[in-house]
Structure 1
Amino acid sequence: MGRQNYMTITVADTIQDMFNEFVTIKGITKTAALNDVVEMYMLAKDEELYLNLKKKYLNVEGVKNMIADRDSKIDDSIPEYLFMKLGISTTNEGDELDGEETVRVYMNDEKIRGFTWFSTQSLFYGMSQDRVKHYNNQIAAGKKVKILFAVNNENFDNDIAFSADVLEVFSAKLPVECPEEGLPVEFDGEKARIWIKLVNIQDETKINASMMQITSTGRDLKQTISNSQYHFGYVSFKE
């Protein structure tokens, strides 16, 4: 099996010798030269496809969504949900869990203590303090704040699989440990920028991703998460 990020190119001996001498004279590495050549080839063959792939692999759309969420104003007139698309989690023992298995761990922890703390590193600088304050004020006023969890595995095709009620939101700019004791033993000692205290974690059977949009951009949630362009943020029902 070839090594990751390596490719083998077979060319005529004359071309190989010319290339070797060319990069030596120019003082550049073969890797740098070939990177340029490969990009120019794709650009020359199909500019539109090249640019679309460039956006995909640089996660341009994902960054746009993150910035839009960060800069968006909170509108109490729009019923909004916290949202998280779950990927692979690794326990303290090194076991890998898919999104569905991860939520089952939190469900079991909630059964033991009556609540559980869920964490994420999805936002590089954490959740804005305005949003943290907004959600905690809503909860203190007796309003329900919910989070939706999407999963992509053999049982769920990039769709909402679980929901939970939020009891508290905590966020910091740097990863910190759980604000209080209340973490599944599988993730004990974990650090994160965003911590969300949960109860009533359950299978979600009434809401699916096709019903929802990203609140800040209006983009279709199902399509966006299927393209791996949105992992954590704020969603609402389509108008």
Structure 2
Amino acid sequence: MATGNEKWIFITTATTTSISTRTTTTNITTNNRAAAAHARAVRAERAAAASAEPADAAAAAAAANAELDPEPEPERESTPAPAPPAPVPPVPETPVRPPRQRPARGARRAVPCFGCLRSALAGRSTGECFDAAVGSRCWRCAFGHTCTPVPANTRPAAVRLVEALQNDAPRLDRLRTAVRMLLEGGTEEEEGEEQAAPAGSPAAVRAQVLALVGQILNLLLP
């Protein structure tokens, strides 16, 4: 039989062993839980790292693209288009004047006008002068030309020149020259009639020459 001391030792040993077993079991459980928590933390970190890598890669790619792409230029303010010019009003057309028609020719004048006589001296006509059906001008001067009478001292020579041109008489050149001389001195002679020139003056001498020319014409022409 066991003694009292042995019983106490046995109980103490059993108690100690039980406590040690419990402590060991608690430590193992605690270690297991710690290991499991650590393993879960490691897996969580790895999962977070794995999920963060695509986001970091996308952010890095976006940053690289932002560095490569030039910044867009600011939009320029559009200048308003100029207003179209006002339409020019049409210019009214000027009515066309009807062509002027030469009036009907009337009777022939006995003495040609100064314009018809000059035309005969230039060789453009025979010097015939006709009245116009309307107005006081002759038929040739009806289109705005001045129709003036021939000076008085030249009228006989002018009539003879027109007759000679119609009959194709000889010595027409001399006759034209005489008529030109009379025309050149006609104005001075008319002025001399108003104021008599003294004898021996140039005007008086010229009047005598013109009178001689008239006499020569009377001798040349019948």
- TM-score (normalised: structure 2): 0.20
TM-score (norm 1): 0.19
Higher relative contact order (CA 8 A, sep 6+): 1
The answer to which structure has the higher strand fraction is 1
Indicate the structure with greater helix content: 2
Report which of the two structures shows the higher radius of gyration computed on alpha carbons: 2
